[in-house]
Amino acid sequence: MHCFILENPEKTDTFGATLAQSIHQLESLVHESGLNIRLNGDLGAGKTATTRAMLRALGVDGRIKSPTFTLLETYPIDNDLEVFHYDFYRFETPEEFLDAGFRDDFAPGHITMVEWSEKAEPCLPEADLILTLRVEGAGRTVTLEPQSALGTTLTEEIAARWTSLAAN
């Protein structure tokens, strides 16, 4: 487990970009197995902001909307990868996940970013990485908890890049 301090919104954007660079470094593994990331935290903790910064760094242009009302926004990115950004805040029961047919999106070549995942458990596929964001004064903290071998490798890549940024 790693924890990083994001002193301001710019640092949240930097973390999102670092996440994107780390994912890009592991692209072949994402093609093979997919990557499932959970974004935990209270309202306003920075879940969507982190995802938006990650998508920008992955080359997504145009408007990046929060999926709060649509449940899902999809973004094709280079090299046949696709990002699926979910927000299950409005779910009444976990079975809504199954009824919507979302399980098929958790697949090789897909990156899933899931906000409010607890609303879809236990129907939701296992996470590779859990990011927990907390508001701390004017900034945030983000805790990374790997849940799989891919999640561990991604966490190590993020930590190495973050440490390198801090040293400069």
Fold of the CATH domain 2-142+150-167: Rossmann fold (3.40.50)
Q: How sure is the predictor about 32, in pLDDT bands with cuts at 50, 70 and 90?
A: very high
> Does residue 166 have a pLDDT over 80?
no
Q: Mean pLDDT over residues 130-150, rounded?
A: 93
Percentage of residues in the chain having pLDDT higher than 70: 99
pTM of the model: 0.93
Q: Which amino acid is at 137?
A: G
Q: How sure is the predictor about 138, in pLDDT bands with cuts at 50, 70 and 90?
A: confident
Q: Mean pLDDT over residues 74-101, rounded?
A: 89
Domain residue spans in the chain? 2-142+150-167
The mean pLDDT value of the chain amounts to 91
Percentage of residues in the chain having pLDDT higher than 90: 66
For 17-68, give the DSSP string: HHHHHHHHHTHHHHHHH-EEEEEE-STTSSHHHHHHHHHHHTT--S-----T
Residue 24's contacts (CB-CB under 8 Å, 6 or more residues apart) are 58
Q: How sure is the predictor about 168, in pLDDT bands with cuts at 50, 70 and 90?
A: low
pLDDT (0 to 100) of residue 74: 93
Q: Sign of dihedral through CA atoms 55, 61, 67, 72?
A: negative
Q: 46-57: per-residue pLDDT in tens?
A: 899 999 999 999
